[in-house]
Chain A
């Protein structure tokens, strides 16, 4: 159990990460906003509390492996890695620019600390399962964490991996699904109904933990609970709010694939105001993160 102070520190770190990812997206002029904001708490918990990693030695043999399957939310991965010391925070402003190590979708060979190249959806869980199978076969101590979206549950490849992980009893694999109910074309339940994901994964012999993906204590408790499960892979079904922390972006699928400042959209602040309003909300902690937890 973390102390109230430790939880608060992690929440503040997540807020700093949200601020920096809004800045990087504005500078880049393209990229995804909603998913990264929604996953900032989970990435903070993983990189600052859960993962056994060394930013100075990213290839450490016994490190935990984090596989980001839905590569398009890489702004939150990059920002969290920069804050954790993998590379200078200053470099975030190179996102999506020519010659940058921060490719529009993550490329393993470009940036030390990335475990895979990703972007095309539905293949991350398979890669994570392959890694976990190796660790199990060779009795290696590390765990594999696979972060995936709810939208990519549409992909057949995802379910091939779900069956494989259960067959080989990959209890060293923790998958965390960003259940934010949006994808590019709209709400997930309109595009291709997914519920009940908990029942589906349980029927496929997974152990499922449902959490509030913005509650730091719940995120960390769920990761520890997952380590205690034997003979089954674990899914942490994290209910999140896309665009979390920026009022006008929350729960609005228009912000799935758009950065602040790129275009005027009906019912949204003017484009030149978007980043400013978002940053003000985050900086002053007047957004929902603070109000929900206080």
Chain B
């Protein structure tokens, strides 16, 4: 059942649940972070409106830098600014940043250890009609492999806002993964958020579904549906993929004995990989990873693509029953 302590959206299972893209929450959070701290600056690579930096730019023109279509420069100028005491948020589409400029992020941000906030919008298959070139499906793997880097995938726009504000205070290199299209608003302003903390959104004892981003909503729908079959599913919103909340995840492995992970990312190296690495080392239980199966995406409407690539409530239900059969 829904964890009442977290004050999630009461319309969670309604057809008319509110929706918004997570990039919208980022834009709002950036304005608040900028108001709270004059050292917050923003840099963009010719996608200001699209990455929702527009409001910050209007409010703080002297703290906004347009670098042009130059993602390598975007993060390295950000590195220099961070070394000089600023908190730079650098935004583009995730395939370009952190895709194109990975080595610059590795050397000048992570190894150099300066607090640059990399914001990758248009991540996931739900980017839609732009097609595979613009659908980042490898970005979590790229960022998760880097020492010092924090990786955050907010569940909805409200959490994206909270994550942005928290990132402005954590003194770390961070990666924030954002969606282009609308996603269901699962949380409320009152729902707690902390970097590094996974939350049990739905309580259960037979099996755990660990999800990130908009897949959390689908996992909740699956859990609600599986009540009919007398299967008690725990759903964890794992919005910080690195550092992983090992306590919450290992507790779920011990108490439920089987895990399904769901993400809008390649099955290689993403949330499923992170959970598997942790669980296999400390409390091995059967795990099924739902994600993109080593393919590129294609053009289409977000919902059509999510369905085609198997990121559906039905598939989560199927994986839950499969993993339960593997459980001893």
Given contacts A126-B77, A127-B77, contact A119 B107 (CB under 8 A): yes
**Residues in B neighbouring A116, C-beta threshold 8 A:** 79-80, 83, 108, 112
Q: Which partner residue on chain B sits nearest A146 by CB separation?
A: B80
Q: Which partner residue on chain A sits nearest B116 by CB separation?
A: A130
Residues 109-130 (chain B) with a chain A CB within 8 angstroms: 111-113
**Residues in B neighbouring A65, C-beta threshold 8 A:** 84
Given contacts A109-B113, A160-B72, contact A130 B78 (CB under 8 A): yes
Q: Which of B63, B67, B103 contacts A137 (CB 8 A)?
A: B63
CB distance from B58 to the nearest CB of A (A): 17
Residues 69-104 (chain B) with a chain A CB within 8 angstroms: 70, 72-73, 76-86, 88, 103-104
**Residues in B neighbouring A160, C-beta threshold 8 A:** 67-68, 70, 72-73
Contact B65 A168 (CB under 8 A): yes
**Residues in A neighbouring B78, C-beta threshold 8 A:** 130
Contact A130 B111 (CB under 8 A): no
**Residues in A neighbouring B65, C-beta threshold 8 A:** 133, 168
Q: Report A189-233 CB contacts with B as 1/0, cut-off 8 Å.
A: 000000000000000000000000000000000000000000000
Would you call A115 an interface residue if the criterion is a C-beta within 8 Å of the partner chain's C-beta atoms? yes
Given contacts A137-B63, A160-B67, contact A123 B84 (CB under 8 A): no
Would you call B5 an interface residue if the criterion is a C-beta within 8 Å of the partner chain's C-beta atoms? no
Q: Which of A119, A135, A161, A164 has the most CB of B within 10 A?
A: A164
Number of B positions contacting A (CB below 8 A): 27
Contact A157 B108 (CB under 8 A): no
Would you call B62 an interface residue if the criterion is a C-beta within 8 Å of the partner chain's C-beta atoms? yes
- CA of A118 to CA of B76 in the docked complex: distance in angstroms? 11
- CA of A126 to CA of B82 in the docked complex: distance in angstroms? 12
Q: Which of B72, B83, B107 contacts A130 (CB 8 A)?
A: B83
- CA of A115 to CA of B81 in the docked complex: distance in angstroms? 12
Residues 156-182 (chain A) with a chain B CB within 8 angstroms: 156-157, 160-161, 163-164, 168
Task: Give A contacts to B, CB under 8 Å.
Answer: 65, 67, 107-109, 115-120, 122-123, 126-135, 137, 156-157, 160-161, 163-164, 168
Some 7 contacts from A to B, beta carbons below 8 A apart, are: A67-B80, A108-B83, A109-B113, A116-B80, A127-B79, A127-B83, A131-B80
